[in-house]
Amino acid sequence: MQIHADVPEQTVRQVLSEFEGEIYQKPPMRSSVKRETRKRTIYRLEVHEIDGRTVLFTCSCQGGTYIRKLCSDIGEVLGCGAHMRELRRTRAGPLTENTGIVTLHELSAAQTELEAGNEAPMRAMIKPMEIALGALPQIMIRDSAVDAVCHGADLAIPGIVKLDSMIEKTKPVALFTLKGEAVALGRALMTSREILDQEKGVAAKTERVLIDRGTYPAMWKH
C-alpha cells in the first residue's frame, strides 16, 4: 500500500488493526460485481514492514473482498489517502503457493507436450477437484444414494453415512462418496445437529452434479 503523505508508523499500524473483523465495503468503479455496499470479513491484517510511505502487509479475508478498495478506505481513515501499489495472492481457500501453482509459460509448455502425445507434464499440473472442495463442509453419502443425486435428487437423511460437525443451514456443502469422490455441490437445509437428531427429511438441496450419471448403479425408484 502506498500512503499519500507522511504518517507516523504507530498511527498506520493502529488504523490497519481497526480494519480487522467485519467491515462494510463498496466495490470500486472498475469491478465485476454490482456496486452496492456489502459486508466482508477481514480475518487478519499483519504489517510486515513500513518504509516511508510504503506499507507491506498480509491480509487474510473473506472471498469477494477488494484489496485495492481496502487500501483506499485505510487512506481515508488516515486522512491523506492511499492506494494499492502491488498485490500478490498467496492463497485461495485450501490452495496455496505450495500446492502446485504453475506459470503460464509452464502451462504452455505442457500443452505443447500434450499435443505431441506426451500427457505426463499436463497430468502433473492438473489437480483433483476434491482438493478445491476441501474448504467446504462435507457429507459422505451411501453408494445407493449416489446415482439418485446424479439425477438431481436432493439428499435425504437415510442416504447419509457421516458428516462434518460445522454444517450450517442455507450454507454450501460438498457431497462425497465413501471413496472420497466428489458427487455434487449442494445447500444445507439443516444444521449438523438437526441431521443427526432426525431419521427422515431432506438434509441438502442438490445444486450442481459433478460426476456422470451411471458411475454408480441406480438403486432408486423413478
Of 88, 105, 140, the one marking the end of a domain is: 88
Task: Give the model confidence (pLDDT) of 167-209 as tens digits.
Answer: 999 999 999 999 999 999 999 999 999 999 999 999 999 999 9
- Checking if the pLDDT of 33 tops 80, the result is no
Q: Which residues contact 216 (CB under 8 A, 6 or more apart)?
A: 143, 146, 147, 150, 177
- Checking if the pLDDT of 37 tops 60, the result is yes
- Domain residue limits at 29: 2-88
Q: What CATH number is associated with residue 170?
A: 2.30.130.10
Domain membership of residue 177 (yes or no) is: yes
Let me know whether 68 and 13 are in one domain: yes
Domain membership of residue 121 (yes or no) is: no
Domain membership of residue 171 (yes or no) is: yes
Q: What CATH number is associated with residue 32?
A: 3.30.70.3190
Are 184 and 119 within 8 A, CB to CB? no
Let me know whether 202 and 142 are in one domain: yes
Let me know whether 7 and 84 are in one domain: yes
Q: For 48-73, what is the mean pLDDT?
A: 95
- Checking if the pLDDT of 142 tops 90, the result is yes
The pLDDT value recorded for residue 222 is 52
Domain membership of residue 152 (yes or no) is: yes
Domain membership of residue 161 (yes or no) is: yes
Domain membership of residue 109 (yes or no) is: no
Let me know whether 16 and 66 are in one domain: yes
pLDDT band at 110 (very low <50, low <70, confident <90, very high): very high
Give the percent of the chain with pLDDT over 70.
98
**Counted domains in the chain:** 2
Report long-range pairs for 171-176 (Cβ below 8 Å, ≥24 apart).
171/137, 172/136, 172/137, 173/136, 173/137, 173/138, 173/139, 173/204, 174/133, 174/136, 174/137, 174/138, 174/139, 175/138, 175/139, 175/141, 175/149, 175/204, 175/206, 176/130, 176/138, 176/139, 176/140, 176/141
- Checking if the pLDDT of 215 tops 80, the result is yes
Domain membership of residue 99 (yes or no) is: no
The pLDDT value recorded for residue 96 is 85
The pLDDT value recorded for residue 221 is 62
Task: Give the model confidence (pLDDT) of 153-169 as tens digits.
Answer: 999 999 999 999 999 99
Domain membership of residue 84 (yes or no) is: yes
Of 88, 108, 140, the one marking the end of a domain is: 88
Let me know whether 147 and 199 are in one domain: yes
Of 56, 88, 120, the one marking the end of a domain is: 88
> Whole-angstrom Cα distance, residue 155 to residue 176?
11
